[in-house]
Amino acid sequence: MSTLTVTSRGQVTFRREVLQHLGIKPGEKVELDLLPDGRAELRAAKPKGSFRELRGVLKDRTNGARLSIEEINEAIAQRGAAAGMGEE
């Protein structure tokens, strides 16, 4: 168990090993759920994608050919999976 100190401004700093355990990297956000009986649950916030991130997902994949809806869906799924794994 880690013990944290609260500053006079009501802030806490998490130790590196805690952040690594949660999979949180510098600049990322965390979610905190307040639970009954004074407990809280902390986890890494999952970034929410946008349609703008899909721009160019089919670039260099079509060579001018038209794609079926299945091919488009597959390309979007691959891009989404890569983004979810931090590869983008």
Q: Residue 84's pLDDT is what?
A: 64
CATH number, domain of 30, equals 2.10.260.10
Q: How confident is the model at residue 5 (pLDDT cuts 50, 70, 90)?
A: very high
Q: Which of 33, 28, 63 is nearest to 47 (CA)?
A: 28
Q: How confident is the model at residue 11 (pLDDT cuts 50, 70, 90)?
A: very high
Residue pLDDT, tens place only, 46-72: 776 666 666 666 666 666 677 788 888
Do 5 and 25 fall within a single domain? yes
Do 2 and 40 fall within a single domain? yes
Distances (CA, A) of 20 to 2, 9, 12, 15, 63: 13, 25, 16, 9, 42
Distances (CA, A) of 87 to 17, 57, 60: 23, 14, 18
User: What residues have CB less than 8 Å from 17, skipping those under 6 apart?
Assistant: 2
Do 6 and 41 fall within a single domain? yes
CA distance 82 to 15: 28
User: Distance of alpha carbon 28 from its chain centroid, rounded?
Assistant: 8
Number of domains in the chain: 2
Do 56 and 32 fall within a single domain? no
